[in-house]
């Protein structure tokens, strides 16, 4: 199968311009390794991982690529900015582990001062024997954020997350297509960082459409939750398989139930609508719903579990290994790009 060449694939040394998003609670190093070995690039959402566990996980990654030598570990680690801010010393230890382990990429999102962590990672890298600093991926939900990340922070990659995306994102962010189009128009030229489309994609045909738009690649999240490697529970995976494209909603109710109140202004989450959302919306106290959530998670009750999901979930119909997902995405991307060429005539 032909490799697909973009600024992203050249930057990362991969064959397929597909990235597994850094989903806290939905990814692990096993999934990230399988995505990378399948030709894409895997991220791990490390929001709640202690430093010693992260170091252990990265040892597993190193063992999974025995021929790396001194090259960077070909996966990325993602952090949530406001959570880093709440535990500064532990946050620094986590980033230290990323840098010392020579991880190829660092993803940052949802912070009131993400640059402090970018600067810390770069300063830490300068004082180590790592072959190079980690590439910085910055997730954005507006053109202004993209311009700041690209021009002021010198991010290596811009992740443009549209409204269709599962998990947390901008409550009033436009569609992925609109946001990517606007960012590409605002960042013209050969020196602009690669822009990735994120939100609502389920297959390679959709990825190809963003490549023709000018994106350097795409981030898929929900599709990789439906893999054996994902730590999502069997109940959550069954919930996703049963969902339709209209089964998701944007809301803060799931965070109110979990007690996660620190998200920056304008951020909420997209997940499967269930009784948690109904209870919060009807005025039931957060603490009461939290007790139901705890019990539901223990009992495997989908009505009282948090299942993050993007709008493309209605196009996902089976659980398959991450490498098989990557092979299918690769085939569909190439086929759709070849098909688009037939529209041109001399």
Of 124, 25, 43, 33, nearest in space to 83 by CA: 25
pLDDT value of residue 127: 66
DSSP state of 75: E
pLDDT value of residue 107: 99
Residue 6 in tokens? 């973009």
Same domain, yes or no, for 159 and 272? no
- Domain of residue 261 covers 234-304
Give tens-digit pLDDT for 208-245. Answer: 999 999 999 999 999 999 999 999 999 999 999 999 98
Residue 1 placed within a domain:
no
Same domain, yes or no, for 256 and 244? yes
Same domain, yes or no, for 188 and 248? no
Same domain, yes or no, for 243 and 300? yes
Residue 286 placed within a domain:
yes
Mark 202-218 as b/e (b = at least 16 C-beta within 10 Å): bbbbbbbbbbeeebbbb
pLDDT value of residue 190: 83
Whole-prediction pTM: 0.96
CA 346 to chain centroid: 41
User: How buried is 286 (Cβ within 10 angstroms: 0-12 exposed, 13-18 middle, 19+ buried)?
Assistant: middle
pLDDT value of residue 319: 99
Residue 62 placed within a domain:
yes
pLDDT value of residue 21: 98
Q: What is the mean pLDDT of the chain?
A: 96
Of 182, 228, 181, 174, nearest in space to 200 by CA: 174
pLDDT value of residue 295: 97
Residue 130 predicted with pLDDT over 90? no
Residue 47 in tokens? 């929001």
Residue 133 predicted with pLDDT over 70? yes
Same domain, yes or no, for 128 and 251? no
Average pLDDT over residues 279-302: 97
Same domain, yes or no, for 247 and 168? no
Average pLDDT over residues 179-205: 96
Element (H, E) at 76: strand 73-80
CATH number of the domain at 222, please. Answer: 3.20.20.70
Specify the range with the lowest mean pLDDT, choosing from 40-49, 77-86, 130-139.
130-139
Q: Which residue is associated with the tokens 């490390």?
A: 46
HEC string for 127-189: CCCCCCCCEEEEEECCHHHHHHHHHHCCCCEEEEECCCCCEEEECCCCCHHHHHHHHHHHCCC
166 with 270: CB under 8 angstroms? yes
Residue 230 in tokens? 């994902």
Same domain, yes or no, for 152 and 282? no
Model confidence at 291, in pLDDT bands (50, 70, 90)? very high
Residue 25 placed within a domain:
yes
Residue 275 placed within a domain:
yes
Same domain, yes or no, for 182 and 281? no
Model confidence at 1, in pLDDT bands (50, 70, 90)? confident
Distance (Å, rounded) from C-alpha 130 to C-alpha 58? 15
Residue 315 placed within a domain:
no
21 with 41: CB under 8 angstroms? no
Residue 162 in tokens? 């549209």
51 with 97: CB under 8 angstroms? yes
pLDDT value of residue 189: 83
| Sequence-distant (≥ 6) Cβ neighbours of residue 177 within 8 angstroms | 162, 197, 210, 213
Same domain, yes or no, for 278 and 215? no
Average pLDDT over residues 291-316: 97
Residue 63 predicted with pLDDT over 60? yes
Residue 80 predicted with pLDDT over 60? yes
Residue 309 placed within a domain:
no
Model confidence at 47, in pLDDT bands (50, 70, 90)? confident
Distance (Å, rounded) from C-alpha 209 to C-alpha 6? 14
Model confidence at 48, in pLDDT bands (50, 70, 90)? confident
User: How buried is 85 (Cβ within 10 angstroms: 0-12 exposed, 13-18 middle, 19+ buried)?
Assistant: middle
Model confidence at 128, in pLDDT bands (50, 70, 90)? low
Model confidence at 131, in pLDDT bands (50, 70, 90)? low
Task: Show the DSSP H helices in the chain as ranges.
Answer: 7-12, 29-37, 51-64, 81-86, 88-100, 114-126, 143-147, 176-186, 204-213, 222-225, 234-242, 253-258, 275-281, 286-299, 322-341
Number of domains in the chain: 2
Same domain, yes or no, for 206 and 295? no
pLDDT value of residue 245: 86
pLDDT value of residue 129: 56
Give tens-digit pLDDT for 82-125. Answer: 999 999 999 999 999 999 999 999 999 999 999 999 999 999 88
Residue 2 placed within a domain:
no
Same domain, yes or no, for 239 and 282? yes
Distance (Å, rounded) from C-alpha 105 to C-alpha 95? 11
pLDDT value of residue 92: 96
Same domain, yes or no, for 43 and 169? yes
């Amino acid at each position: 199968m032909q490799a697909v060449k973009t600024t992203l694939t050249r930057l990362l040394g991969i064959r397929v311009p597909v990235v597994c998003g850094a989903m806290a609670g939905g990814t692990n190093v096993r999934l990230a390794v399988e995505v990378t070995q399948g030709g894409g690039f895997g991220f791990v959402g490390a929001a709640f991982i202690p430093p010693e566990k992260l170091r252990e996980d990265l040892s597993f990654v190193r063992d999974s690529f025995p021929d790396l030598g001194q090259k960077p570990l070909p996966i990325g680690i993602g952090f949530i900015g406001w959570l880093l801010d709440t535990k500064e010393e532990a946050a620094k230890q986590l980033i230290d582990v990323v840098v010392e382990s020579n991880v190829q990429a660092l993803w940052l999102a949802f912070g009131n001062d993400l640059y402090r962590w970018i600067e810390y990672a770069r300063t830490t890298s300068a004082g180590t024997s790592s072959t190079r600093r980690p590439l910085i991926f910055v997730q954005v939900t507006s053109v202004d954020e993209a311009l700041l990340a690209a021009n002021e922070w010198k991010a290596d990659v811009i992740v443009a997350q549209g409204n269709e995306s599962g998990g947390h994102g901008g409550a009033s962010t436009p569609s992925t297509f609109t946001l990517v189009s606007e960012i590409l128009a605002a960042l013209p030229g050969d020196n602009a960082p690669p822009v990735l489309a994120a939100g609502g994609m389920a297959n390679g045909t959709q990825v190809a459409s963003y490549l023709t738009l000018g994106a350097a690649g795409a981030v898929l999240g929900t599709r990789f939750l439906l893999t054996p490697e994902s730590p999502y529970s069997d109940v959550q995976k069954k919930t996703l398989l049963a969902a339709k494209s209209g089964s998701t909603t944007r809301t803060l109710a799931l965070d109110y139930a979990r007690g996660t109140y620190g998200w920056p202004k304008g951020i909420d989450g997209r997940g499967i609508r269930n009784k948690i959302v109904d209870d919060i919306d009807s005025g039931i106290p957060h603490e009461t719903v939290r007790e139901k959530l705890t019990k539901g998670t223990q009992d495997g009750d989908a009505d009282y579990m948090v299942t993050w999901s993007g709008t493309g979930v209605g196009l996902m119909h089976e659980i398959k290994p991450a490498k098989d997902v990557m092979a299918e995405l690769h085939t569909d991307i190439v086929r759709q790009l070849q098909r688009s060429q037939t529209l041109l005539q001399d």
